[in-house]
């Protein structure tokens, strides 16, 4: 059985470009994003890590720590940073895990269980399932899981949008509709009666008996 939403994110100790970390301890009371890439010094991955570096401040504003991972050694991560900056204009300052023995990748179902015990001799094609994203809450529970194929670079603005939804809905009994953007109307959950909705949100619009919308709550 693989990891599912609301499972506790597996804890681990790993070597990173910021030194040795214990994952849950490193997260502390923050939200977290752990995202993997197939292999250093490859084109799509270079654009992805640079894109993430370019919006790191947006994650920090939301109390979200970000950490990357691949099966490459830490020393390769350090050498690759220059290429990422040259290609994208952004320097990677967040930590990158060097998961040479595949321990973390297997904990998070980023590789098949029979992928072997070492990164030695592996190619990007061997790591076809390793473009994954996990969003983890301060309670260490998994809130979101995404997996992309090798040829499709991720949209990190979408991950920020999803985090905005997760953080909003964690505070208020609301949900967010399709294509929602911060500041737009939200959906009142079925757990909130009409009477309680008036108390909580003031006015709301009933579109269907089971679909009620209201303005986004303000903290």
Gap between the Cα atoms of 41 and 15, Å rounded: 19
Q: Determine the Cα–Cα distance for residues 177 and 159; give it in Å rounded to an integer.
A: 16
Q: Is 45 a catalytic residue?
A: yes
What dihedral angle (degrees, nearest 10) is formed by the CA atoms of 43, 44, 50, 55? 170
Q: Which residue of the set 9, 14, 33, 45 is catalytic?
A: 45
Torsion over CA: 141, 59, 96, 20 (sign): negative
Active site residues: 45
């Amino acid at each position: 059985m693989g990891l599912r939403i609301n499972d506790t994110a597996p804890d681990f100790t790993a070597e990173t470009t910021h030194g040795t970390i214990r994952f849950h301890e490193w997260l502390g009371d923050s939200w977290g994003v752990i995202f993997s890439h197939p292999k250093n010094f490859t084109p799509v991955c270079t654009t992805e890590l640079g894109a993430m570096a370019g919006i790191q401040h947006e994650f920090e504003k939301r109390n979200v720590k970000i950490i990357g991972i691949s099966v490459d050694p830490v020393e390769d991560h350090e050498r690759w940073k220059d290429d990422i900056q040259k290609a994208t204009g952004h320097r990677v300052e967040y930590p990158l895990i060097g998961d040479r023995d595949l321990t973390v990748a297997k904990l998070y179902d980023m590789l098949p269980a029979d992928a072997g015990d070492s990164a030695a001799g592996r190619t990007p094609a061997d790591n076809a399932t390793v473009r994954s994203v996990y969003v983890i809450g301060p309670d260490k529970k998994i809130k979101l899981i995404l997996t992309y194929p090798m040829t499709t670079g991720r949209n990190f603005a979408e991950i920020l949008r999803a985090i905005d939804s997760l953080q909003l809905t964690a505070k208020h009994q609301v949900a967010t509709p399709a294509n929602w953007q911060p500041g737009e109307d939200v959906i009142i959950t079925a757990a909130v009666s009409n009477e309680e909705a008036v108390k909580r949100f003031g006015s709301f619009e009933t579109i269907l008996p089971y679909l009620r919308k209201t303005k986004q709550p303000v903290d």
